[in-house]
A and B are shown apart, each in its own frame.
Chain A
Amino acid sequence: MTLRRHLRNVDWVLFGATLGLIAIGIVFIASATHQQPVGGDNLYYLKRQVAWAAVSLVAMLLAVLIDYDLILRLGPWIYAANLVLLIFVLVAGTTVYGAQRWLQIGPMRVQPSEFAKVAMIVGFASFVAGREKEEGSGARLSRMRDLLPSVIYVGLPMLLVFRQPDLGTSLVFAAIFLCMLYVAGAEPKVLFGLTGGVVGGAALAIFLHYRFGLPLPLKEYQLRRIMTFIQPGQDLRSSGYHTHQSQIAIGSGRWFGKGLMAGSQNQLNFLPMRHTDFIFSVIGEEAGFIGSVIVLGLFLVMLWRCVLIAGRSKDLGGTLLAAGSAAMIAFHVLVNVGMAAGIMPVTGLPLPFITAGGSSLLANCVAIGLVLNVGLRRYKIHF
């Protein structure tokens, strides 16, 4: 029967790694927050995360069940809806910590830029695959001017996210964009040229601004934010102190950690935002190097399975969905853990599946659901 064959074709390793990461997240959120009661409830964050996990798993199931061909065909609509949503956030969003990233829907606050990443992957996969189909496959992506439509396609939502301002998420867009185009066969030299050009141009403009007063279309404080981004931990007022404390937490975990709910950094309130952005510090402190290896190992397994599915996909659209999702997760892990360990700027990017927060968990689960979907329907013909 189809069901049985479908079940056999599900990538249980990928699914298992996802469940494992979600479970680890729930445990450490409990450890990080059981001393911060919300409305007298010590388990507030724990309960909320469990509820979100349940919702996310249902969403994942939906993402598996609907044939991804159909999803890809809806790509342009998803893309358009995404743009509208992002514009709406800029106009009517709630401002938290100086950035307009949130939308208040009844009692819930959702962060549309989390979903924007997944919407981006779907939209761009359908866009690139569609163009390849029209023009025949091959080296159509090797010249700069062939890349231009792609740059505009991704650049638009990226700019909207940048305006919120959310530099971190707009960089996620860039990472996804580069990975997907490379996998689709774009000439690496052109891609590197493009990246180098943008980064170099921006660096030159900032240099000229400080050196010779070149006018920039940025406000002074926005510029300073970028400088803070380039020099992580320098800005004591916002995040420098936190990064330092986070490193102390991770380092003090040593090989085996101090044990669950026994991290002094965590429990004594020295760690900031410890159930969200800095959750990895809690893991490092309480579960030590062994725990860190397990978490990063699970992520590696997840990425490996995603790339494997990308390679086995029956069409370019599926390949790009899987590769884009892998790029998104990999970039988040790199930046988030790197931030906690003090080698990456503080950007507010969550640790996928682990950081407390519904929007991110839901979006990542949908992404994994799509990858599972591609794996499930890897056979072109019905045999």
Chain B
Amino acid sequence: MIALRQAMAGGEQQGLERRLNLVLLVMALSLLLVLGRVGYLQIVRGVYYEALSRGNRIRLVSLTAPRGEIVDRNGELLATTRPAFTASLIYMGHDYSDETLATLEDILSLERGRIRTLLQRHRGQWFRPIRLKNDISAQEHSMLEEHRHQLPGLVIEVVPIREYPYGNLAAHVLGRVGFLNTEAQRQSLTNQAGSYASIMMAAGLEPTGYQVDDIIGLIGLERQYDAILRGVDGVREVEVDNWGRPTRIEREQAFQTGLQLNLTIDAELQRTLEQAMVDNMERIRRLRGPSYATSAAAVVLDVRTGGVLAMASLPTFDPNWSASGRIDPQFLPQLEEFNRSIQGLYIPGSTYKMMTALTAVEEDIAHLSDTVWCGGGYRIGSDVIGCWVGAPGHGRVNLIDAIKGSCNVYFLEMGARLRAKARASDPTKGLVDMLSKYAPDFGLDGQTGIDLPFERAGRSPRTTGRSWLPGEDIQCAMGQSRQEYSPLQLAVYTATIATSGVRYRPYLVDSITQDGHVLWQAQPEVVPNAVEISQSTFDLVRQGMLAVTAPGGTGYWQFYDLPIKVAGKTGTAQTSRKPNDGLFVGFAPYDNPEIAWAIVFQHGDSGSLAGAPVAREVVRTYFGLRPPEVPQ
């Protein structure tokens, strides 16, 4: 001690002690300050707070943010919200009797024990009202009012509920909302929200987490863009009376409405497409029978951007039915909600022949001057595969004639030649290897990357270690082997032919806006192609597709009277179950393509019967060729 004191200059040590004393004083005063505050709460205001805690009446009421609106490319409203009544239960400091809960469950037609389950689930969160049922009917509302004296803690709140003004219009694109009820959902939504973080920040929305029983998007765009659409709920701190009714608002934080999605969809074209599909479905069943045209899907793309102009799937559903989240999981209409245009996989049939043609020309196997004699059948080994026209066949056909008349023999011959070329260098290879050199560049391999959840994708066939049987292999040439694609994939493939190889990623959301202010704008995205196909090859194939709608072509009767040059291809695919699927792909105008489409009718019998009439209506509407409607 003495040594220390001596070691330091006297003044120095004194200074240190003075400073340390001051430090201690500041610390002591800090502690006294908080102790003073604690004492004030406990002694001066203790009685008040004790009373508050005895029947703790402060509750947090969530102010549900309205979901963002969804509009079509012209601003037409496709999804909005409307106010609705919701029955909630506020914890009143004592347990509920079984009779009370039974009364409530009866009125709201909830299953027995449902409220107990909800109470259990919200344990530790009793300062928040528990939502029992959204969007209660007027009758339920008045019943609840009648029994109010038996139901302490019951409150009726007004919350915004999702509404789709046109019912099932574009239902599969928009999707629907419902309760979040699995951990897997929560996880996937949380991950998805992360990818929109920068947009949320730009909008001044702080992302909030997901909880069980939140109303969320379950499918379609509602699911894909849930983080963007749901907004941020507000919250209100209220004091409630003995009946759970708010008597005083202590504090409040406003909600923030979700952002608006502006789609590439054209509502008018969408309406036309859906109506044409429904009409044609009825027509086919009338002509052929009830086992025909059981379901259908179609996609119309803007070939210049990849934007989806219309997308439909039949059978369909009305997303309004679950908007309040009030659904019975046992009656989920899964069949209807299945979006066939991105989730259904179909054998392409003759619509695949352009792919074979492109490959054959690029591989120097086929030339316009080459002709093949179609006698109505083609022999592979001991089997004979018939051309669809039957005997006596198409006669002598070149490439354009073959596409025009959808001649199987021509394409089987090309398939056989391509197979021979492949095997010349490697005997384990075959036609599929030739095709898979080019097909992936047309979107026929893997997902297209559209901004919708749960996209399924067919793959281009390829040999995996063993060579295919000759028949199996060569039949790929006519799209009638192991190929399966979604209608969206077929539309992207067709659009890529229309643009001579420029393939865009298809997308639905053109921009995200907040009060008219653009936060995010989609940029057409070209998917890089690996293989170059020459312009002349594309020209040749497109000429074939144009011939399809010319006299003698398989689609002539649907398009002969239109002033727009339409290029297309019919497809009639044999599946394991009869009747055949009918497909029609195409683009228009021929000279300067704007739109491309793929239409599939399951069991539609044939492409010209099922797909082409729908395509006709799409073209008429898109190019304004419909006579103006006469007001009645």
A residues bordering B, Cβ < 8 Å? 36, 137, 179, 182-183, 185, 219-221, 224, 234-237, 240-241, 244-245, 247-255, 264-265, 268-270, 284-285, 288-289, 292-293, 296, 299-300, 303-304, 307, 310-312, 314, 319, 323, 326-327, 330, 333-334, 337-338, 341-343, 378-381
Q: Which residues of chain B are within 8 angstroms of A179 by Cβ–Cβ distance?
A: 23
Query: Roughly how many angstroms separate A344 CA and B7 CA in the complex, as a whole number?
Result: 43
Given the complex, which residues of B lie within 8 Å of A36, measured CB to CB? Answer: 124
Given A289-B39, A307-B24, A338-B37 in contact, is the A330-B30 Cβ separation under 8 Å? yes
22 contacts between A and B (CB under 8 A): A183-B16, A183-B23, A185-B15, A220-B202, A237-B234, A240-B253, A241-B235, A245-B56, A251-B45, A251-B50, A252-B50, A268-B126, A270-B126, A270-B127, A292-B35, A300-B27, A304-B28, A307-B24, A338-B37, A342-B37, A379-B1, A379-B3
Asked if residues A304 and B60 are in contact (CB atoms below 8 Å), the reply is no
Q: Given the complex, which residues of A lie within 8 Å of B38, measured CB to CB?
A: 250, 284, 289, 292, 296, 337, 341
Contacts of A245 in B (CB 8 A): 56, 58, 127
Bound: A182/B253 CA distance, A: 42
Cα A185 to Cα B201 in complex, Å, equals: 45
A252 touches B49 (CB 8 A): yes
Cβ contacts under 8 Å, B253 to chain A:
235-237, 240
Cβ 8 A contact of A220, one of B41, B123, B201: B201
Chain A residues, CB < 8 A from B3? 379-381
Given A235-B253, A337-B34: A255 and B126 interface contact (C-beta under 8 Å): no
In the bound complex, CA of A236 to CA of B234 (Å): 9
Count A-B contacts at CB 8 Å: 181
Chain B, residue nearest A311 (CB): B20
- Of the candidates A183, A293, A341, the one whose C-beta lies within 8 Å of that of B41 is A341
Q: Kindly provide the distance from the CB of A271 to the nearest chain B CB, expressed in whole angstroms.
A: 10
CA gap between A299 and B38 in the complex, in Å? 15
Residues of A within 8 A of B54 (CB): 252, 264
Interface centre among B38, B42, B204, B206, by most chain A C-beta atoms within 10 angstroms, is B38
Q: Decide yes or no whether B391 CB sits under 8 A from chain A.
A: no
- Shortest Cβ distance from residue A29 to the other chain B in the assembled complex, whole angstroms: 17
In the complex, the answer to whether B31 meets A334 with C-beta atoms within 8 Å is yes
Are B127 and A237 within 8 A (Cβ)? no
Total count of chain B residues near the partner, CB < 8 A: 59
Known: A236-B235, A252-B50, A303-B27. A221 touches B204 (CB 8 A): yes
Interface string of B38-70 (1 = CB under 8 A from A): 110111011111101110101010000000000
Contact A248 B53 (CB under 8 A): yes
* B56-A289 in contact (CB<8A): no
Name the residue of chain A whose CB is nearest to the CB of B17. A311
Q: A252-B50, A255-B42, A319-B16 are in contact. Are A264 and B201 (CB under 8 A)?
A: no
In the complex the two chains form, what is the Cα distance from A221 to B565 in whole Å? 54
Across the interface, A314 reaches (CB within 8 A) one of B4, B30, B35, B93, namely B4
When each residue 229-244 of chain B gets 1 if its CB lies under 8 Å from chain A and 0 otherwise, what string results?
A: 0001111110000000
Q: Which residue of B lies closest to A251 (CB)?
A: B49
Chain A hits for B124, CB < 8 A: 36, 269
Flag if B43 contacts A249 (CB, 8 Å).
no
Known: A137-B12, A323-B23. A269 touches B125 (CB 8 A): yes
Given A252-B50, A268-B56, A269-B123, A380:B206 Cβ within 8 A: no
Residues of A with C-beta under 8 A to B208: 237
Contact of B7 (CB < 8 Å), options: A236, A252, A380: A380
